[in-house]
């Protein structure tokens, strides 16, 4: 039997360190499903593992794409499952780690299958978006799939600011004549591994303190210069993310640097809260306080493997 030891939890909780410890214990590889760490131009603001951490265990899907590429969750699912099949030829275990809930779900459960859509529909949607802005996409989704719109408004409002995702929701709804959400949660692809899911959590005040510290350390490490280098590409989808948007606003003259940094901290805290909302819906998770001794977690994994 093959096992995928999966580590989930909010940003800055210690997932990377735990993943390396587990990978070394089981002599296996790590697959990252942090969608912000895929891009090689973004390192400081996405908390990419250090060289020492990357050298401590074999990592995949870290800085392997360019922000100029159009890389989707479907692409990731296909590539990651193909890689897992190869890894399982020589090892019964692999580690999956990351804070991107949609990408975790794509690996554990399979990505939802959608019918082919007439390309002319996407062209018309893009044209309308360029004329009317993101409000057009939001209004169309609310009209075509109010259930899904309301769910996103409540549980993942950041998605409603993502034009690429909204275009996809709208084109599926228009192209099929059915709400986008009607294609979700259908029968998923079968997997050839058993997931062992470990969640890391902390008291909210403690979690927020860790986030504030991480942002301060990112600024010390050169996040401002990294964002300045990326500023000419600020409209790319990959850069519509916390840590960069706020500094781009500073470069635009819309805020002071101190305000931008405080906004990064605030928006990262909000992001962590949304992550926990998503992950708390995940089934069969064994939750641990982030300060739990590693040997306790290791024993849980070994016992689960033994009894499965």
Scanning the structure block, which residue is given the tokens 């990294």?
226
Alpha-carbon gap, residue 271 to 49, rounded angstroms: 20
Biggest alpha carbon distance in the chain?
59
Q: Is 198 annotated as a binding residue?
A: no
What kind and span of H or E run contains 307?
helix 294-307
Q: Is 90 annotated as a binding residue?
A: no
User: How many CA atoms lie within 13 Å of 157's alpha carbon, on the beta-carbon side?
Assistant: 7
Q: Is 10 annotated as a binding residue?
A: yes
Q: Return the closest-CA partner of residue 10 out of 272, 264, 278.
A: 272
Measure CA 33 to chain center. 6
Q: Is 232 annotated as a binding residue?
A: no
Alpha-carbon gap, residue 71 to 49, rounded angstroms: 21
The structure tokens listed for 303 are: 């016992």
Q: Return the closest-CA partner of residue 40 out of 296, 201, 230.
A: 230
Q: Which whole-number Å values give the CA distances from 7 to 90, 209, 260, 288, in the listed order?
A: 22, 21, 31, 11
Q: Is 179 annotated as a binding residue?
A: no
Strand pairing class (3-8; 93-97): parallel
Q: Is 12 annotated as a binding residue?
A: yes
Q: Is 268 annotated as a binding residue?
A: no
Q: Is 110 annotated as a binding residue?
A: no
List binding-site positions for ATP. Answer: 9-16
List binding-site positions. Answer: 9-16
List binding-site positions for substrate. Answer: 11-16
């Amino acid at each position: 039997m093959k096992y995928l030891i999966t580590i989930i939890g909010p940003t800055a909780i210690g997932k990377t360190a735990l993943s390396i410890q587990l990978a070394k214990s089981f002599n296996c590889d790590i697959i990252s499903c942090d969608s912000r760490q895929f891009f090689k131009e973004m390192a400081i603001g996405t908390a990419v593992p250090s060289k020492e951490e990357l050298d401590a265990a074999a990592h995949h899907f870290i800085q392997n794409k360019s922000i100029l590429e159009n890389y989707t969750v479907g692409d990731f699912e296909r590539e990651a499952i193909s890689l897992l099949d190869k890894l399982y030829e020589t090892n019964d275990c692999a580690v999956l780690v990351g804070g991107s809930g949609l990408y975790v779900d794509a690996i554990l459960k399979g990505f939802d299958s959608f019918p082919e859509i007439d390309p002319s529909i996407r062209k018309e949607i893009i044209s309308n978006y360029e004329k009317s802005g993101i409000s057009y996409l939001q209004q169309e989704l609310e009209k075509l799939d109010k259930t899904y719109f309301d769910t996103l408004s409540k549980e993942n409002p950041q998605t409603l600011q993502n034009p690429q995702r909204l275009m996809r929701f709208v084109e599926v709804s228009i192209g099929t004549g059915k709400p986008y959400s009607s294609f979700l949660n259908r029968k998923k692809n079968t997997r050839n591994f058993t997931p062992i899911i470990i969640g890391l959590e902390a008291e909210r005040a403690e979690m927020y303190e860790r986030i504030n510290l991480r942002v301060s350390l990112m600024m010390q490490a050169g996040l401002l210069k990294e964002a300045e280098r990326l500023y000419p590409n600020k409209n790319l989808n990959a850069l519509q993310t916390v840590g960069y948007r706020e500094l781009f606003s500073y470069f635009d003259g819309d805020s002071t640097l101190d305000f931008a940094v405080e906004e990064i901290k605030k928006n990262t805290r909000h992001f962590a809260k949304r992550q926990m909302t998503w992950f708390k819906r995940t089934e069969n998770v064994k939750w641990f306080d982030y300060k739990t001794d590693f040997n306790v977690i290791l024993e849980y994994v070994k016992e689960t493997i033994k009894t499965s």
